[in-house]
Amino acid sequence: MSDPFTMLKNIKETGKKVVGFYCVYAPQEVVLAADALGFALCATKEEPIADGEKTLPRNFCPLIKSSYGFAVTDKCPYFVHSDIIIGETTCDGKKKMFELMKTFKPVHVMKLPQSYLDESDKAYWLNEVKILKELLEVELGTTITDEKLREAIKILNEERLLMQQLAEYMKNDPVPMTGQDFLKLMWGRNFVTDRADFAEQIKAIISDMEDSVAKGEAAMPKGAKRILVTGVPTGVGAEKVIKIIEDCGAAVVYIENCSGMKQFVTLVDETKPPLEAIAEKYLATPCSCMSPNPIRQQHLVQLVKDYRADGVVDITWQGCHTYNVESRVVKEFLKQNGDIPFLQVETDYSQGDVEQIKTRIQAFLEMMA
């Protein structure tokens, strides 16, 4: 979008409401059923971190510092024009950030349970989704009916199926798309104003991928080492590790992160009561904030097989304690289930460690030779 500030201003002048969010736990179906536009908020650029550090500790996760820096400087158009922000308790740093944000912006924080395995946790989260529904109805002056929820579920399930279909093409050798371009497509979904148009665009790209595979066209050389990327949210502007992997000659065949395919792999069950089905889908997100988190580990092993990955690179932001601890758990699980090569890269948004990361990734790829 060449001028999102003007685009959003024009949308708001029509009376349309805007809801901002930071995490895939925010139930998009509820926002869509409220006749509002939902947008992911800016959080993946280094430039606003200095402004964030004027209030937040320097040893905070860069994603939080970037998020807050964008918010306090009004440099994120989606934050500026949001009528309400949906937060979530995925980490202590975010909880405190939302506490500060509430002093200058309407913020509703959804309280996550500690696990997705227990029935009591599922009931707790369903109640949180009900609270969000009722709050949006009041704050946005709308009524969210079951009919609207079912229509929203259908629309977003179609998007998920299209993204799953697109990901299937990354199983080819050679791959028809770079991991960086694949990330841009998934990232673009966060800023959609017309969902039907977005679906048509993805269908067109799927058609292009099919043609590329048929013609033998490729983004990376045949036989390139195949890497599965996992870990923290890695959006456009903070994709340096993915770029380094591909600059080293490897193909990023799957991005499991929640900013990547994690948000698309599970559908909302269209046969169940809508709010119950929505709550079930979102709670099943295998984030490291959940303890224990077996789905992520099991899913990674299956993805390695499905995408014939030669190794896994786990990206961890400095200060992200849950992903940092879980990285060791994932490494051991992959070793026990196929002796899958694994590399953790702990970094931030700066470019100061690019050469160091490049050296480590080159050594990792040579080890698999």
Instruction: Give the start-to-end residue ranges of the domains of the chain.
Output: 4-144, 148-367
Q: Assign residue 223 a region (left: φ > 0; alpha: ψ between -120 and 50; beta: otherwise).
A: left
For residues 193 and 8, is the Cβ–Cβ distance under 8 A? no
For residues 92 and 80, is the Cβ–Cβ distance under 8 A? no
For residues 222 and 291, is the Cβ–Cβ distance under 8 A? no
For residues 106 and 83, is the Cβ–Cβ distance under 8 A? yes
Residue matched to tokens 């905070």: 60
Helix (H, G, I), strand (E, B) or coil at 101: helix
Q: Which two tokens stand for residue 108?
A: 């509703």
How much is the pLDDT for 218?
Answer: 95
* CATH code for the domain defined by 148-367: 3.40.50.11900
How much is the pLDDT for 1?
Answer: 66
pTM of the full structure: 0.96
* CATH code for the domain defined by 4-144: 3.40.50.11890
* Averages of pLDDT over each 10 residues, the chain, 369 residues: 88 96 97 97 96 96 97 96 97 97 98 96 98 98 98 97 97 96 92 93 95 94 97 94 98 96 97 98 97 96 98 97 96 98 98 97 93
Does the fold of domain 148-367 match that of domain 4-144?
yes
